[in-house]
Structure 1
Amino acid sequence: MTRNNNLHRFPRAKLMSGPTPLERLDNLSAEMDIDLWLKRDDLTGLSFGGNKTRQLEFYLGDARQQGADTILITGAVQSNFVRSAAAAAAKLGMQSVLQLEERVPDMGAEYYSSGNVLLAQILGAEHLGYPEGEDEAGADAALHARAVELKAKGHKPYVINLGLGHPPLGALGYVVAGQELYQQMPDFDAVVVPSGSGATHGGLLTGLALEESTASVFGICVRRDRDKQQARMKVVLQKLADLLDIDARLLQDKISVFDEALPPGYGKVNAITSAALEKMARTEGIFLDPVYSAKTFSGLLNLVESGKIKSGEKIVLLHTGGLPALFGYQSELIHNPT
């Protein structure tokens, strides 16, 4: 597979502040006996950064081309995607409608008022609720119903769909990121990424494949178990390959997902996730978020412990940001002083 130039065909809104840093983690490298690097996509520049900025460049580019004035998106209550979408819409002079799904049960009051929820309110976004957390088609349908109402009032709405039935435009942002990473450092053995919607994982895998990189891409499940995520990734990669007019089979053969860090489920903090979050902070002075990046680092620790990542290998860990969510999870993370 050779480098593909079809990306220029897709409209793109400029939201990134530039290529994100690639930083060596010297202390953890010595402790873990690997050559560990952190791709700092927590530093993408827009509204506390995070990986969703890359995806939104393509969604908002398409929205602007269609003359949209309002962006509609759905996600969990502490979703980084919806917060980033509200910020991107504000930057481009648009309104935003954020639908918050009940994906994470039994959370404290701060989960519903702090972190990303607070930031989205400051940004002036309209908020909707959706009672289910595992109904992508229903959540998308509810957004489209709101879009019909807005259209009747003279607005030009644009829906960023969640379900697999739609082209994964956002994944194109991580095709770009894969190529960016390869240009920064072509000689690494593996990159470890969160695997949720599949856009970040699938885009990065595709971008590296287009650069003919031989590095493995290890996806750490943050929402579904290994079998379900494997099936989802096949669909995402097929739809992404269709967008780029390349052979999906060359990508699907590279799928590698692990779910050891997932229990008890999406958005729930377990002991190993909390320990991984604290380890990164106390060893390197870098914060991770409890939903994606801490679970991804926990997955990396397991890959090293199980021997799937070997001594001396050069590994890149993708930091997807999401740090405002830390404040929505304070009751889950804080230790009572003794």
Structure 2
Amino acid sequence: MKLSFARLPTPIEILPRLSRRYEREIFVKRDDLTEFISSGNKIRKLEFLLADAVRNRCDTVFTCGGEQSNHARATAHLCVKLGLKPVLFLRESQPEQNNNLSRRIRSFFASDEAEWKYFKEAVNGNLLIDKLLGAEIVFVSQQQYAKIDEVFEEYKEKYESQGRKVYIIPEGGSNALGALGYVWAVAEMTNQIDLSQIDAIYCAVGSGGTYAGLLAGLRFLGYETPVIGINVTKREAKYFVEKVLKIVDELAEYGIRVNVKPEDIKITDDFSGPAYAVPTEADVECIKITASTEGIVLDPVYTSKAFRGMLQTSRRGQKVLFVHTGGTFGLFAQAHRFMEL
């Protein structure tokens, strides 16, 4: 069982000017167009995960991510559409990343007019959408987030003692059930482009589920096309190799049985930048060039790093397909990076 919220199929477009500039054929799967408020790759996973929540008669959904989490925003939106209560556990930014804006945000939520100036500075992008949707927001420290499963269980016990029934969605919706969304996406792509003629498919890797679904979907349908993941976090690639293997193995429960070896999983750490959600100047420039050249808007957390990684690791003459996983709302939280004084 799955829900149907995404506007599918999303198109695959060729980028003619960037293709000429970099001397390779660059195609983009426009999963930034899956919806509006719940746009991006997460909605494909959530169609399966929230169907499971409904099937289990849950009325409250927990999930987690960074302060500007695309996944948390998409989860909150779809929960509201289903009449479920979204509770978002958001990890504080490192003080050096964001001038500790999370402390200011928490102050705003706990007070009123006194913190209005901080609200204008800090509550924007995905976080603003979360608030408008009425999501309950629980800010957690970096240390708490490292033990998020324990935090979930503590809060679940509290909510269920009040008569609610909680469904927990992991970071990024990245488990086997969520990865089914990208197994289906591969099937969708087979009707749009000859995948056997694509030299590589590229995507950002933040929690591993999209990558796992793409790889499993390709192998399940008989394609040997490599999937190149660009790690946008400070976790090492080997962490994701293990996670992808686990997800792919667990997909067998849903009838997706494939043979994937560690060497089949190609994830690079070279473009993660100084920290998660912190783009380099090269990433910022990539966003500007892609927008002004092709009208494709990348985001500062995921797709700018992944797109730049694709440009630098693919070769002249190749035909490559980039999966645009969305994230546009995150641009507004980092608008200062794009303003030339």
TM-score after normalising by structure 2: 0.87
Q: Is residue 322 of structure 2 the alignment partner of residue 336 of structure 1? A: no
1:227 pairs with 217, 233, 238, which one?
Answer: 238
Asked whether the equivalents of residues 98 and 128 of structure 1 are also in contact (C-alpha less than 8 Å), the reply is yes
Secondary structure, aligned partner of 1:250: coil
Structure 1: runs of 5 or more not aligned: 1-10, 304-308
Quick one: distance in 2 between partners of 1:288 and 1:55? Answer: 21
Alpha-carbon deviation of 1:205? 0.8
Asked whether the equivalents of residues 206 and 251 of structure 1 are also in contact (C-alpha less than 8 Å), the reply is no
Q: Is residue 118 of structure 2 the alignment partner of residue 128 of structure 1? A: no
Identity in percent: 33
* Residue of structure 1 equivalent to 2:307: 297
Alpha-carbon deviation of 1:190? 1.1
* Residue of structure 2 equivalent to 1:312: 317
Alignment of 1:40-59 (within 5 A): 40-59=30-49
Deviations 1:104-135 (A, max 9, x none): 44315478411000001100101101101684
TM-score after normalising by structure 1: 0.88
Quick one: distance in 1 between partners of 2:324 and 2:250? Answer: 25
Q: Is residue 150 of structure 2 the alignment partner of residue 141 of structure 1? A: yes
Asked whether the equivalents of residues 216 and 256 of structure 2 are also in contact (C-alpha less than 8 Å), the reply is no
Relative to its length, the structure with more helix (as a share) is: 2
Coordinate RMSD, CA, aligned: 2.1
* Residue of structure 2 equivalent to 1:160: 169
Quick one: distance in 1 between partners of 2:256 and 2:32? Answer: 30
Quick one: distance in 1 between partners of 2:238 and 2:52? Answer: 32
Quick one: distance in 1 between partners of 2:30 and 2:51? Answer: 23
Letter in structure 2 aligned against 1:123: L
Secondary structure, aligned partner of 1:286: coil
Quick one: distance in 1 between partners of 2:165 and 2:211? Answer: 31
Q: Structure 1 residues 104 and 284, CA, compared in 2 at 3 Å: closer, same or farther?
A: farther
2:257 pairs with 223, 246, 264, which one?
Answer: 246
* Residue of structure 2 equivalent to 1:3: none
* Residue of structure 1 equivalent to 2:286: 276
Quick one: distance in 1 between partners of 2:68 and 2:172? Answer: 19
* Residue of structure 2 equivalent to 1:306: none
1:100 pairs with 80, 90, 105, which one?
Answer: 90
Quick one: distance in 2 between partners of 1:116 and 1:149? Answer: 27
Asked whether the equivalents of residues 234 and 252 of structure 1 are also in contact (C-alpha less than 8 Å), the reply is yes
Secondary structure, aligned partner of 2:142: coil
Structure 2: runs of 5 or more not aligned: 102-119
Q: Structure 1 residues 49 and 163, CA, compared in 2 at 3 Å: closer, same or farther?
A: closer
Alpha-carbon deviation of 1:143? 2.0
Alpha-carbon deviation of 1:243? 4.3
Deviations 1:243-279 (A, max 9, x none): 43524x4354421111211121211111221121112
Q: Structure 1 residues 185 and 316, CA, compared in 2 at 3 Å: closer, same or farther?
A: same
